[in-house]
Amino acid sequence: MGAIPARDFRALVAGAGAIIHFGRFSFRLSSPVEHLADEVQRMYRHHPVSLEGFADFHVEVRPPRNLRRWFGRQLEFHVDGSSSFFPLPHAQAFPLLEWGLNWCVHDAVKDCLILHAAVVEKGGKALLIPAPPGSGKSTLVAGLVHHGWRLLSDELAPLALDALSIEGLARPISLKNDSIDLIKGLAGEDAFSGTVRDTVKGSVALMRPPRESVLAVRRPAAPVAVIFPKFTRGARPVHRGVGQAAAFALLMESAFNFSALRRQGFEALADLVERCGCHEIGYGSLDEGMRLVEDIHAAA
């Protein structure tokens, strides 16, 4: 995508739309918002793009066409012609697109278990990192990726129903508040979208996935460990094992389509916690968190 001149890409998105591929999925993006087209081209620079063909999701980000158009500059996210989201301010166009794409994937996929978790891989061994908002998951993942780990996903982990592999998506990593400047200090300004302030999650910026991760996105990885991280500023590093029953319960809470898959979802999670070591880590700095992850990976 990065080879397309910016003016041509804006015109494409404003017209017929561009089909952007991430893993086995694709979305056709249409939008009259120029700064959204610019951010998409920067953050998906290494992803393949098509001008025509099949797309899993037809996505539009545009101003409302009802009375809401009179209430300031707002934008709506539409998929396949309908919207299930409240409008957001014009400046939040790119976060709106990314949050909407998350919803598209976990709502549509029925042939694997979709976990709210990050996945990184090194040496053929993948780590599944589920965590609630505010736990430091994305910051930890961004740090690992900067230090040579392959990014499969930051938010959604498609786990095969035999629990033997996880698919990659290699989409941008969403960072918030203090984490933005911390990771910019490692990865540089060019790797980031603009910072959007005053969202429901505070200040938000996204980091572009490395080219190597995007090129390897169709290569699944075998999970060897599940890590539940918790960052607390200034805390001493802690690492403890998590029992299979407790790990299963925590993972079930993060499985978007668990109830839809029923027995298949139950068995996939049970196989995952049986095959993988499950760990809980606490740490007070990014360096400490990455050291704990490296230790778990080495022992797996």
Helix (H) / strand (E) element for 75: namely strand 74-79
At residue 70, does pLDDT exceed 60? no
Averaged over 197-218, what is the pLDDT?
94
47: left (phi over 0), alpha (psi -120 to 50) or beta: beta
At residue 68, does pLDDT exceed 70? no
Q: What is the DSSP string of 144-162?
A: HHHTTPEEEESSEEEE-TT
What pLDDT does 71 receive? 60
Distance CA(205)–CA(95), nearest Å, equals 8
Q: Which of 29-33, 104-108, 270-274 has the lowest mean pLDDT?
A: 104-108
Question: Which residue has 């700064």 as its token pair?
Answer: 35
Averaged over 239-258, what is the pLDDT?
95
Q: What is the DSSP string of 219-249?
A: S-BEEEEEEEEEE-TTPPPEEEE--HHHHHH
* CA end-to-end distance (rounded Å), the chain: 37
Residue 163: pLDDT band with limits 50, 70, 90:
confident
Whole-number average pLDDT of the chain: 94
CB atoms within 10 A of CB 146: 18
What pLDDT does 226 receive? 98
Q: Domain spans of the chain?
A: 6-108, 113-299
At residue 72, does pLDDT exceed 70? no
Count Cα atoms within 13 angstroms, Cβ side, for 6.
9
Distances (CA, A) of 141 to 40, 44, 76, 154, 227: 21, 18, 30, 7, 12
Which residues lie below 8 Å from residue 227, measured CB to CB, with a gap of 6+?
127, 128, 129, 279, 280, 281, 293, 296
What pLDDT does 21 receive? 97
What pLDDT does 33 receive? 96
Distance CA(225)–CA(300), nearest Å, equals 7
Distance CA(81)–CA(15), nearest Å, equals 16
Single out the residue of 85, 91, 86, 94 nearest to residue 29, CA to CA.
94
